Structure 1
Amino acid sequence: MKSTVQIRIDGKTVEAPAGSTILDVAKSEGIHIPVLCYSPLLRPLENCRLCVVAVAGENQYKAACSTVVTEDMDITTNSDELFQTRKLLLELLLDTHYGDCVAPCTATCPANVAIQGYLGYRQA
């Protein structure tokens, strides 16, 4: 088995460790993919779906936190369509956000979520 795979991420060809996720590779390449439910201490949950990316040849977005890279995978992490999809997903999450918060948040979120950091997406 090969120890690395060659992929394209946002038009850049890179060698990635076999078995790594799209999110891992993106981070190592300095590419930001928004995440909300991801923690390196836990297995990927795919609950928030904010880390969705487009993979050429696939008919639906993939969660970067759990999708393992494969040879010749062509990944897009940033596009207007992805931004709008993430914005909609965030809207749906925030619509059911029942924290004990009083805006603006001054205490740590009981769910350990940096909601303030995501509110900018709502305005865009």
Structure 2
Amino acid sequence: VILILNQFYKIFYIQITISWISFLSWRFLLAAVVCVLTISAGIFTQKSIKREHPAVYSLLGSADIIFALLLQNIFTSVQSNFYALIGSALVICSVVILGISRIITERNIQKKIKENVNKNNEIC
């Protein structure tokens, strides 16, 4: 959006004539591809939250800590220290514990709802 506004600024405010070739430069196309990928990632994230249980989604979302530490240790010369490893382990453990408790709570609520529906069907 900012690139498009910049082009309109150059055309209408500064009165510089620009052809379509300048719109289709490699930098503009690269920025457009990055924007489309970012928007599609947001759309797919929202769809995954709607389809899957939010606790499961948060569990999978916390895996980026593991991947970041692994990639840092593999591809860079900077190695993670002991505190970073303990901190990431604590974060992952807390997310797993919260996610499991949320899943168990939701399943118990769903079982109670099904039991109430079955009781109401038997009464009718």
Range of TM-score over shorter length: under 0.3
- TM-score scaled to structure 1, two decimals? 0.25
Greater helix content: 2
Higher fraction of strand: 1
Query: Larger RCO: Structure 1 or Structure 2 (Cα < 8 Å, ≥ 6 residues apart)?
Result: 1
TM-score w.r.t. structure 2 length? Answer: 0.25
